[in-house]
């Protein structure tokens, strides 16, 4: 930084330290650039601050001093409406004091023994610039709701600690609320705010015992940067209890992700990883705490790789659509009724990547539209191709992601496909997973209604894995229920599971829609489903998802059967 001596001389800096040598060293560093005042204890300092309050640009404040210590000075300055715009930089040798001073509203710290001169000059200059830009630092420093640091200040301090004390072992911890949007939707925003406050209280309580700092970085996400902990579960339990005590009865679960200290790791990356760990906590896990480990790092690298490679994959046709048949089992022999389009990625180096590995990734990253549009188009094209080539129209269902729902061009896209390939609306069916319905019920229902009004049929996928109530189901617009695979898996061995399947079939009868049972692998399962009155079946028993050339054979075989029967 270039500081013009003439220009800066008019700015006034107060140096407060009981040790003469410290005053001298700092004075020497700064005197060419600033006008300097000195005080040797807190009482003297306050007098000078009062006297020069309109002219003081910054106070450099030692914390440990006789008569009145620096904490007291800091707290008086911060609590005085005329003085609190003056930035204070604390001088300290001790980390706990430093963090406490920051919590109390210090603008920065300089460590003893003193840093290099350039560093001190730069920091003093920067704080003055900052404070001249904004008279009242404290308003922007804190999040009003929780009184934790705002995101910017938090990261500014965290980065400073990292830069000046790269050897301090600090944990990065991320906390958020599972399904916060539904907490808000169910109980109202005010309630949501109170829950956030209770988490803020819990975190502040924790930080009064353990050195560190914290911020609410976005809606329901908190970052904590603190001395390495042995027991993160204890902190999670503590915060969870704080929430319970505010919101007894409401089922609110916190999640926590931790990235432990690694020498040299940038705090931003450390927090990214803590967040990644936090996001791995899913509702069905027993634990709500995840510590980032090598496994996650591998997964993260793979994810990064897939994200980078997606564009190329589309251009180079590495993405392939496979088809899995659905059979009507109430006919004898079972009749091919339709197909489901399922994406496959044949990666040149990684081999066949399963959609389970990349669909959720692209969903959270916003790129799922690229994949889905590709599959929808390919499926529509395929229906037309089979129709021309084999003279048979095989309806194909495609999967919609939960995020596609927010795409305002969705209807146009589907209508465009129908026009382009000259299809009947009924040929291109849409599968929407049950949890997408329950997550955004209103939006979803509205969209599905519009699509159905155009003539599309909509299947509710993975039925039984979400939380639809019978009541909700009765007004959800659907044409077909796809029973989640887990219902079928055990019916041969568990009477109870078989009864559950029968319940699902009863619900479908009540809704007057047919059921597709997914994941049927054995003859016995098929028999039991047929006996229970299930009409459609999809699963390895008939065929795995296969490339279109293979699927063609199924169509041809089906045609021959129909011809033999004279249909
Ligand atoms: P899904 O929609 O529930 O698809 C059914 C999954 O079950 C497919 O897995 C299929 O291969 C598998 N499966 C079918 N029969 C059997 C069986 O008898 N036994 C067992 N164990 N599994 C069976 P796949 O292809 O790995 O797809 C997984 C999920 O990825 C799909 O679940 C779907 O949610 C998603 N997905 C696949 N393709 C797409 C796509 O193009 N777009 C979107 N948004 N999601 C897709
Ligand atoms: Ca599906
Ligand atoms: Ca499914």
CATH number of the domain bearing residue 557: 3.20.20.450
440: pLDDT strictly greater than 80: no
Residue 298 domain-assigned?
A: no
| CB of 459 sitting under 6 A from ligand 1 | no
Q: How far is the CA of 430 from the centre of ligand 3 (A)?
A: 12
Q: Which of 80, 104, 132 is the last residue of a domain?
A: 132
Our mutation pick for probing the ligand 1 site, out of 377, 399, 428, counting the most ligand atoms within 8 A of Cβ, is 399
Ligand 1 atom nearest to CA at 400: 44
Residue 528 domain-assigned?
A: yes
**Using CA atoms, how far apart are residues 246 and 190, in angstroms rounded to an integer?**
13
For ligand 1, atom 10, name the residue with the nearest CA.
545
DSSP state of 451: H
Q: What is the pLDDT of residue 345?
A: 96
Ligand 1 atom nearest to CA at 482: 3
Query: For the chain, what is the mean pLDDT?
Result: 89
Q: Which of 292, 311, 338 is the last residue of a domain?
A: 292
**Using CA atoms, how far apart are residues 83 and 112, in angstroms rounded to an integer?**
26
Lowest mean pLDDT among 166-170, 335-339, 548-552: 166-170
Residue 95 domain-assigned?
A: yes
267: pLDDT strictly greater than 60: yes
Q: What percent of the chain has pLDDT over 90?
A: 63
Residue 311 domain-assigned?
A: no
127 and 166 in a single domain? The answer is no
For ligand 1, atom 19, name the residue with the nearest CA.
519
279: pLDDT strictly greater than 80: yes
Q: Are 90 and 45 in contact (CB under 8 A)?
A: no
Residue 304 domain-assigned?
A: no
| CB of 217 sitting under 6 A from ligand 1 | no
Task: Please state, as a whole number, how many other Cβ atoms lie within 10 Å of the Cβ of residue 287.
Answer: 10
| CB of 351 sitting under 6 A from ligand 1 | no
507 and 543 in a single domain? The answer is yes
Ligand 1 atom nearest to CA at 368: 44
74 and 162 in a single domain? The answer is no
520 and 382 in a single domain? The answer is yes
**Using CA atoms, how far apart are residues 487 and 321, in angstroms rounded to an integer?**
26
Q: Please report which confidence band the pLDDT of residue 127 belongs to, taking 50, 70 and 90 as the band edges.
A: confident
276 and 384 in a single domain? The answer is no
Phi-psi label, residue 539: left if phi above 0, alpha if psi -120 to 50, beta otherwise: left
Residue 471 domain-assigned?
A: yes
Looking at the 3D structure of the chain, how many domains does it have? 3
| CB of 356 sitting under 6 A from ligand 1 | yes
Residue 16 domain-assigned?
A: yes
123: pLDDT strictly greater than 90: no
Structure tokens at 43: 């009482």
Q: How far is the CA of 173 from the centre of ligand 1 (A)?
A: 34
Q: What is the pLDDT of residue 135?
A: 45
Q: How far is the CA of 157 from the centre of ligand 2 (A)?
A: 47
Of 336, 410, 326, 422, residue with least CA distance to 376: 410
Which CATH number belongs to the domain containing residue 109 in this structure?
3.40.50.2300
Using the structure block, give the residue that is written with the tokens 């030692």.
Answer: 62
541: pLDDT strictly greater than 70: yes
For ligand 1, atom 20, name the residue with the nearest CA.
519
Q: What is the pLDDT of residue 9?
A: 57
Of 29, 28, 49, residue with least CA distance to 39: 49
237: pLDDT strictly greater than 50: yes
Query: Please, which residues have CB less than 5 A from ligand 3, an ion?
Result: 461-462
Q: How far is the CA of 477 from the centre of ligand 2 (A)?
A: 17
Q: Summarize pLDDT for 453-505 with one digit per residue, the tens.
A: 999 999 999 998 877 777 778 878 899 999 999 999 999 999 999 999 999 99
241 and 345 in a single domain? The answer is no
| Residue 142 CB contacts under 8 Å (≥ 6 apart), including other chains | 148, 149, 150, 153
126 and 162 in a single domain? The answer is no
**Could you give the C-alpha distances from 162 to 100, 139, 155, 158, 330, in angstroms and in order?**
17, 25, 10, 6, 68
223 and 167 in a single domain? The answer is yes
Give the three-class secondary structure for 113: coil
Q: How far is the CA of 155 from the centre of ligand 3 (A)?
A: 42
Of 366, 358, 367, 418, residue with least CA distance to 393: 418
| CB of 399 sitting under 6 A from ligand 1 | yes
431 has which bridge partners? 399, 459
Q: What is the pLDDT of residue 3?
A: 36
Q: How far is the CA of 459 from the centre of ligand 2 (A)?
A: 9
273 and 365 in a single domain? The answer is no
Comparing 479 with 4, the larger pLDDT belongs to: 479
Q: How far is the CA of 27 from the centre of ligand 1 (A)?
A: 70
164 and 119 in a single domain? The answer is no
Helix (H) or strand (E) holding 504: helix 495-511
Q: Please report which confidence band the pLDDT of residue 439 belongs to, taking 50, 70 and 90 as the band edges.
A: confident
Our mutation pick for probing the ligand 1 site, out of 313, 341, 342, 377, counting the most ligand atoms within 8 A of Cβ, is 342
Q: Please report which confidence band the pLDDT of residue 289 belongs to, taking 50, 70 and 90 as the band edges.
A: very high
DSSP state of 119: H
89 and 198 in a single domain? The answer is no
For ligand 1, atom 41, name the residue with the nearest CA.
343
134: pLDDT strictly greater than 70: no
Ligand 1 atom nearest to CA at 538: 15
Q: Model's pTM, two decimal places?
A: 0.66
Burial of 320 (0-12, 13-18, 19+ CB in 10 A): middle
**Using CA atoms, how far apart are residues 432 and 239, in angstroms rounded to an integer?**
36
Q: Please report which confidence band the pLDDT of residue 99 belongs to, taking 50, 70 and 90 as the band edges.
A: confident
> 68 is in which domain, residue-wise?
8-132
Q: Which of 292, 315, 339 is the last residue of a domain?
A: 292
Which CATH number belongs to the domain containing residue 226 in this structure?
3.30.70.270
Q: What is the pLDDT of residue 283?
A: 61
284: pLDDT strictly greater than 60: no
Residue 284 domain-assigned?
A: yes
**Using CA atoms, how far apart are residues 50 and 565, in angstroms rounded to an integer?**
103
Distance of CA 564 to the CA centre of its chain: 56
| Residue 190 CB contacts under 8 Å (≥ 6 apart), including other chains | none
372 and 484 in a single domain? The answer is yes
Q: How far is the CA of 431 from the centre of ligand 2 (A)?
A: 6
């Amino acid at each position: 930084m270039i500081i013009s001596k003439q220009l800066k001389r008019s700015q006034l800096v107060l140096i407060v330290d009981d040790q003469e040598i410290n005053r001298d060293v700092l004075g020497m560093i700064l005197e060419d650039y600033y006008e300097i005042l000195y005080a040797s204890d807190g009482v003297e300092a306050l007098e000078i601050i009062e006297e020069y309050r309109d002219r003081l640009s910054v106070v450099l404040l030692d914390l440990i001093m006789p008569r009145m210590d620096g904490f007291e000075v800091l707290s008086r300055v911060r609590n005085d409406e005329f003085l609190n715009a003056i930035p204070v930089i604390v001088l300290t040798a001790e980390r706990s004091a430093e963090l406490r001073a920051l919590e109390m509203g210090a603008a920065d710290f300089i460590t003893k023994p003193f840093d290099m001169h350039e560093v001190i000059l730069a920091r003093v200059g920067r704080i003055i610039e900052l404070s001249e830009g904004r008279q009242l630092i404290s308003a922007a420093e804190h999040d009003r709701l929780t009184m934790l640091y705002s995101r910017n200040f938090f990261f500014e301090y965290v980065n400073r600690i990292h830069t000046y004390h790269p050897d301090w072992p600090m944990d990065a911890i991320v906390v958020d609320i599972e399904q916060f949007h539904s907490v808000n939707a169910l109980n109202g925003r005010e309630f949501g705010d109170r829950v956030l406050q209770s988490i803020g209280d819990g975190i502040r309580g924790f930080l009064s015992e353990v050195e560190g700092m914290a911020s609410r970085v976005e809606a329901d996400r908190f970052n904590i940067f603190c001395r390495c902990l042995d027991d993160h579960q204890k902190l999670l339990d503590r915060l969870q209890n704080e929430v319970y005590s505010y919101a007894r009865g409401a089922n609110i679960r916190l999640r926590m992700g931790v990235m432990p200290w690694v020498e040299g790791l940038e705090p931003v990356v450390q927090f990214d990883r803590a967040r990644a760990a936090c996001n791995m906590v899913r509702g069905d896990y027993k634990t709500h705490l995840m510590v980032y480990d090598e496994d996650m790092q591998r997964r993260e690298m793979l994810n990064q790789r897939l994200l980078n490679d997606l564009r190329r994959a589309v251009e180079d046709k590495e993405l392939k659509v496979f088809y899995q048949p659905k059979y009507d089992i109430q006919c004898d022999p079972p009749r091919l009724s339709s197909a489901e389009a399922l994406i496959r990625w044949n990666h040149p180096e990684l081999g066949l990547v399963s959609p389970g590995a990349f669909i959720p990734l692209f969903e959270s990253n916003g790129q799922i539209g690229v994949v889905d549009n590709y599959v929808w188009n390919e499926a529509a094209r395929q229906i037309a191709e089979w129709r021309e080539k084999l003279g048979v129209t095989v309806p194909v269902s495609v999967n919609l992601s939960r995020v596609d729902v927010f795409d305002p061009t969705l209807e146009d896209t589907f209508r465009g496909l129908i026009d382009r390939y000259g299809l009947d609306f009924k040929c291109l069916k849409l599968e929407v997973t049950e949890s997408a319905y329950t997550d955004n019920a209103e939006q979803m229902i509205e969209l599905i209604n519009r699509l159905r009004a155009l003539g599309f049929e909509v299947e509710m996928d993975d039925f039984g894995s979400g939380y639809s109530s019978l009541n909700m189901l009765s007004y959800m617009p659907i044409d077909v229920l796809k029973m989640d695979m887990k219902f079928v898996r055990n019916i041969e061995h568990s009477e109870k599971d078989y009864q559950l399947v029968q319940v699902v079939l009863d619900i479908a009868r009540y809704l007057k829609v047919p059921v597709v049972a997914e994941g049927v692998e054995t003859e016995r399962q098929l028999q039991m489903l047929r006996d229970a009155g299930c009409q459609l079946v999809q699963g390895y028993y008939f065929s795995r998802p296969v490339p279109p050339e293979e699927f063609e054979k199924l169509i041809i075989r089906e045609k021959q059967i129909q011809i033999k029967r004279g249909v």
